[in-house]
Amino acid sequence: MHNKNNILSAVTLLSLSVQAHAAGFLDDSQATFKAQNFYLNRDFREGAGVSKRDEWAQGFVLDFRSGYTQGTVGLGLDAIGMLGIKLDSGPDRSGTGLLPVGGDGRAPDSYSKFGVAAKARVSKTEVKIGTQLLKYPTIASSTGRILPQTFEGGVLTSKELDGLTFTYAQIDRTTKRDYSHSEAMSLVNKNRRFSGVPEADDFRMGGLDYAVSPDLMLSYQYGELDEVYGQHYLGLLGSRALGPGKLALDARYFVSDDTGQALAGRVDNRTLNLLLSYSLGGHNVGVAWQRLSGSTAMPYLLGTDAYLTNYMMAADFMEPGERTWQVRYAYDFAAAGLPGLTFSTRYNHGDHANPATFAGEGREWERDTDLGYTLQSGPLKNVNLLWRNAALRSNYQRDIDENRLIISYSVPLR
C-alpha cells in the first residue's frame, strides 16, 4: 500500500459518498487554518563539527475534516495541505528540522505536502485509510516544527462498549516533518544504540483503553515494526482530589524485544516512566522518575516523539541502563488575573547511561523552559507567542544551548 493507492481509495469512497445522502458530509465538516512563524537556534557549546544550527521559517497548514453521509454506513473524507517557506538559512547552519536539507546542505525556498484520507463509520466504529496524524504510545507524529509528521495507512477505532476503546492500525509509509515525500520507516539509532537501521514498510499496532472511571484510565498497546522490533505498552492515568488541589499519576511501562529476522540486531529493553504531579490554582508541581533496563536502549520510530514524560527538547534520555529523575513546575497566570500568560520549566538529570560511543558511566542533565502568551483581544486576538529554551550538558555527547521563538495563529474556517 503506497500513497497513490491511498488517494485512489479515498477518491473512490468520496464518489460513493456523493452518490449517497450527502447531508452531514459538509454540514458536520470542520476546517482549520494554522500559520506558524518559527525561529530555531541550536548552539553546540563544544566538540568538533557544525557549531550551530540556525534557521527561520514560516509554515501554513490547512486541515479539512468532513462529517459523514447519512445512512447505516457513513462516508467521509479528510484532507490536509501544508506549505513551508524558508525565511533564513545557510548550508553551514541548516538541519534544524524546519526545512529539508539538500545534498549541498542548502534548504529549498519552499516545500509542500498534501494528503487525503477516506473514512467510514458504522455505529461507534470508524475506519480511516490514507494520510493521517497519529498520537499513540507506540507511534506518535512529531509536531514540534512548522509542519507535522504524517503517516500512510489504515486505522480502525471502535467504541462500541461503554468506556472501552479498541484501536488497530497498519501503517506502511511516513512523511517526516521536514520532508515532502513519503518513505519507509526505521528506528532511532543515535549513539549506535542498535547494530543496524533497516527500513520497513509495515508497522502494526493494536490496543485497548478502558476508562474505569472519569478519573482512572488503563491502557494496553502492542506495536511492531516488521522484522525489527515488537513493543508492549501498559499505561495508567489517574487523578483524585487531595486537600484543596488535585493529585495525578501518569505511569507508563514499555517492554521491547527484537522480532522475526531482527534486522536491527538485538533489542532488549524495559522502560518504566512515572510522573506524580499536584495542581492547585494556577500552580502545577511534578516529579518524575524513569529507568531503562535490559541490554539495549528503548526503540522508537525515526522522526517521531517518544511517549515518555522524561523525553526533552534536546535529548531523549534513553540510553541503555539510563536512570533519570525530573522536577517540573508550571503556572497559568490566569489565576493571578493575567489570562493568556503561561510559564513552565522542567529539569532532567540522567546517570548510569551506557552508550556504545562512550567508555564509562554516561551522565547528562537538561533544563527546558517555556514562556508563552496568547493575545486576548484586538485585531491580533488568539495569536500565540512562545519562547522555548533548552540547556543540555553531557559527558558523552555535545553540550547544547537552544532557543526557539514561535508565533502561531489558528483560526477555524467553518
Q: Residue 358 belongs to a domain with what CATH number?
A: 2.40.160.10
Within a domain: 367: yes
Looking at residue 17, its pLDDT comes to: 47
Q: How far apart are CA 44 and CA 139, in angstroms?
A: 29
Do the strands 125-132 and 341-353 form a parallel or antiparallel pair, or are they unpaired? unpaired
* Chain centroid offset of residue 61 CA: 16
221's CB contacts (< 8 A; 6+ apart) are: 136, 137, 138, 167, 205, 206, 207, 208, 232, 233, 235
135's CB contacts (< 8 A; 6+ apart) are: 141
Residue with cell 553546540: 44
Within a domain: 236: yes
What are the tens digits of pLDDT across the range 113-150? 999 999 999 999 999 999 999 999 999 999 999 999 99
Within a domain: 315: yes
If phi > 0 it is left, if psi is from -120 to 50 it is alpha, else beta; for residue 278 that is: beta
Within a domain: 274: yes
Q: Which residues of the chain have pLDDT under 50?
A: 1, 3-4, 10, 17-18, 20
Within a domain: 91: no
Looking at residue 25, its pLDDT comes to: 85
End-to-end CA distance of the chain: 32
Residue with cell 539510563: 322
- C-beta atoms surrounding 337 within 10 Å: 7
Which residues make beta-bridge pairs with 113? 82
Cα dihedral 103→388→374→328 (10° resolution): 140
CA distances to 70, 82, 183 from 14, in Å: 13, 21, 26
Within a domain: 11: no
Cα dihedral 178→184→188→189 (10° resolution): -120
CA distances to 16, 175, 211, 251 from 223, in Å: 33, 19, 21, 18
Within a domain: 223: yes
H/E stretch holding 4? helix 3-19
CA distances to 49, 191, 306, 340 from 249, in Å: 41, 32, 19, 26
- The three-state secondary structure class of 48 is coil
Strand runs (DSSP E) across 176-282, as ranges? 203-213, 216-225, 229-242, 245-258, 268-280
CA quadruple 89, 90, 96, 98: dihedral sign = positive
Looking at residue 48, its pLDDT comes to: 74
Q: How far apart are CA 278 and CA 248, in angstroms?
A: 6
Residue with cell 468506556: 163
* Chain centroid offset of residue 131 CA: 15
Number of domains comprising the chain? 1
At residue 389, what is the residue type? N
CB 219 within 8 A of CB 208: yes
At residue 105, what is the residue type? G
Domain that holds residue 261: 203-382+406-414
Within a domain: 24: no
115's CB contacts (< 8 A; 6+ apart) are: 3, 6, 79, 80, 130, 131, 132, 150, 152, 175
- The alpha-carbon radius of gyration of the chain (Å, integer) is 22
pTM: 0.92
DSSP state at residue 184: -
